[in-house]
Each structure stands twice: as C-alpha cells, then as structure tokens.
Structure 1
Amino acid sequence: MSRQLIEPTVRLHAEWLEGHAEWGPGLHEDGFGVGASDDVESAEGFAAWVARLGAQTNATVRWIVENDQVQGGIALRHQLHEQHGHIGYGIRPSARGRGLATWALGEILNHASSLGMNRVMLVCLADNLASTKTIEHHGGVLADILHKDDRPVRRYWINLADRRDSDG
C-alpha cells in the first residue's frame, strides 16, 4: 500500500470531500486547518483554501494519503500555540486503528527536526487513548493536564534532540 504525506492539492478534491463527510457536520478534523468560513465544497472555494494552506509560512500542512485516498491530515505549527501545541492531526474514522497517525507523526517530527526545532508540544483530549498512545510511542512526556472548554486535555512534550541522538 502506498502511504505518503503530501501537500494539499486540488487534484484530490473529491477524495478529500469523501473523508471530510465521515466526520459529520459540525465536527472538527484536526490537522486540516479548515476554518469556519472556508468553502471546501465548491471547486473555487476548495482551490482558494488549498492555496491559502500552501502559502502559510508559519506552518506545514500535509495530507495523509494512501493510494490517492485522503485518510487524514497533520499540521506542524512552527511556533508554539499554548492551547493547541505545535502539532495537530486527525485520521478519518474509517481509517483509524491502522497506525496511520503513528506513521504520520513520525514523519512530521522528522520534518520539525529538519527545521531546527528542538522540542514540540502536542495536545490531546485526556480520554483520547489512541492519541495518547501515538504521542507516547514517539517519546511524548506528559507535561500537564489542563481544562479546555470544560474538557481535560493532556499536554505532551517531545524532545527532538533525543530522537536525533537515538537515530545516530
């Protein structure tokens, strides 16, 4: 199976919409960077959104793709966002449980390291055991548990220098 992280592209509009539909109305897909005012349904709106994502200089946004099917998204913020951390990701419901998030996080951590970042923060809901496991798999160390919108969230740090040292 061909698995890759790719830059957002209008070529996969229909495939992206298929994955987007799985989350259902009003639900947020982490890692895609969709704002409330983004028109992702029309070809013109989708193209404008993809262009905006590609023009960002403060973040790297990638789609998680297998055989031209958009399975999820992952975003690396180049500066720390206290509420959301450096990295956000999401896997469409039908593609969960197959290691895609773990693989994609490893790839984006390598990218963060190549940008000279020394450590990154990731945030997940405290009851999201799959994300907790994914983050801890990559060396995430629990920093604290906060409440966001009356829900507990875990904040983790991953030291990229430790990862570089273990690769060599």
Structure 2
Amino acid sequence: MPVLITPSADLYSAWVEAHSEWGPGAHEDGFGLLPSDDVDSVAGFESWVARLTAASVEGGDGRCSYRWIVEGDRVLGAIALRHGTSDFVQRVGHIGYGIRPSARRRGVATWALGEIIVEAGSAGMSRVLAVCAAENLGSVKTIEHHGGVLESIQDTELGPARRYWIRVGEPGA
C-alpha cells in the first residue's frame, strides 16, 4: 500500500532508480525538479530536498507542499499541492503529479490525487485546479474520477492542455 511522505534525503537511491526510469529530458511533474537542480550527487540531492522542504513552509502564493508516493522501499512518483492564486498556479494548476512508468495503470495516481485533495481541504482550499496534457487519457480519467469539471482546453507552450476544477470535499474526492 503506498503512502505520501515529505521528500527525504534518506531515499536518495530509491529516488535515483525512479528518476532513471523516466529517461533523459522527460518531465517528472510533482517532484519540483528544476533544470538547475543537481540530483546526481548526494550533496546536490540533499540541497534539492531542502529546497522542497522550504517551499512547503513558505507563506503566500509561493508555498508548495511536495509529497513523494512511496511503497515499501520504492519511490513510485510524486504529487505537489501548489497554494495560492499566482500566475504560475493559474497556468499549471494547484496540483501536479507524476508516476514512474513501471507503477502506472495500478491506480497510484488516482489514490494520490484523492489524498492530496484531502490535504487541500485541510489547508482551507475549497477547490483546486488540475491541468493535464489534452492527450493524456490516464490523467483525464484520474481527474474526472475525483469530480474534475472541464473548464477549457487551451493551447500552451507544451501543446493543448485540459483545465479541470475539482471541488474539495465533493463525492469522488
């Protein structure tokens, strides 16, 4: 059974294994990984985890609660809850997640999204915006399972994206 945990430098080897599964250049949403982050060295990884931890306690629109999806000693993916209404949140959504390829199609994303919606409610949010690539049918099903209502499909720099609003505390959430 998976659990959501705060990022931990203790999971360096497990995270590297998950990260390598995505392959070079792939976007791993939910991890908060920037091109400038050095995750190849233990020291760089520890610094990155410290940045994620600090983002979870910042105030205002800059706050982002990062959670890793872990099962046993494996990192299955990550999910992020972005707080506030900044331009960035309006563009990419309150929630972003990514599941490593070998853990997909097992309900992990659906479970994690349900958990982070509960966390959003605890943070006082009444609804959250989830954005996914228009052709990502797995994410479409996951978001709609939790009551996501399609607001629009918009062209973005990465291609067409679906924008869904999910009411926190609604059936299916």
Amino acid at match of 1:64: I
Give a deviation string over 1:39-70, Cα, whole Å, max 9, x none. Answer: 01101000000011001120100000011200
Identity %: 58
**Gapped regions of structure 1 (runs ≥ 5):** none
Mapping of residues 103-114 of structure 1, within 5 Å: 103-114=111-122
Secondary structure of the equivalent of 1:82? Answer: helix
Question: Aligned to 1:40, what secondary structure does the other structure show?
Answer: coil
Paired AA for residue 101 in structure 1: A
Q: Which whole-Å CA distance do the structure 2 matches of 1:121 and 1:64 have between them?
A: 20
Match of residue 149 from structure 2 = 141
Matched with 2:93 is 85
C-alpha separation in 2, matches of 1:104 and 1:150: 24
- Matched residues in 2 for 1:44 and 1:145: separation? 41
| Residues 94-135 of structure 1 deviation map (CA, whole Å, 9 limit, x = unaligned) | 110000000000000000000110110000001000000000
Q: How many residues matched?
A: 164
Q: Give the ranges of 4+ consecutive aligned residues of structure 1 lying more than 2 Å apart after TM superposition.
A: none
Tell me the equivalent position of 2:66.
61
Aligned match of 1:72: 77
One-letter identity of the residue aligned with 1:27: A
- RMSD between superposed Cα atoms in Å: 1.3
Unaligned stretches of 5+ residues in structure 2: none
Q: Deviations over 1:67-100 (max 9, x none)?
A: 1200000000012312110000000001100000
Asked if 1:25 corresponds to 2:24, the answer is yes
Q: Deviations for 1:12-61, whole angstroms, at most 9, x for unmatched residues?
A: 10100000001111111000000010001101000000011001120100
Aligned residues of 2:118 and 2:169 also touching (Cα < 8 A): no
Distance 1:127 1:160, change over 3 A: same
Per-residue CA distance 1:115-158 (angstroms, 9 max, x = gap): 11011000000100000000000000000000012611000000
Secondary structure at 1:97's aligned position in 2? coil
Contact 2:22 2:101 in 1 (8 A): yes
Which residue of 2 is the match for residue 41 of structure 1? 40
Distance in 2 between the 1:94 and 1:75 partners? 20
- Cα distance in 2, alignment partners of residues 158 and 26 from structure 1: 30
TM-score by length of 2: 0.91
Give me the whole-angstrom Cα distance separating, in 2, the residues matched to 1:122 and 1:5. Answer: 19
* TM-score normalized by the length of structure 1: 0.94
Query: Which of 116, 127, 130 pairs up with 2:138?
Result: 130
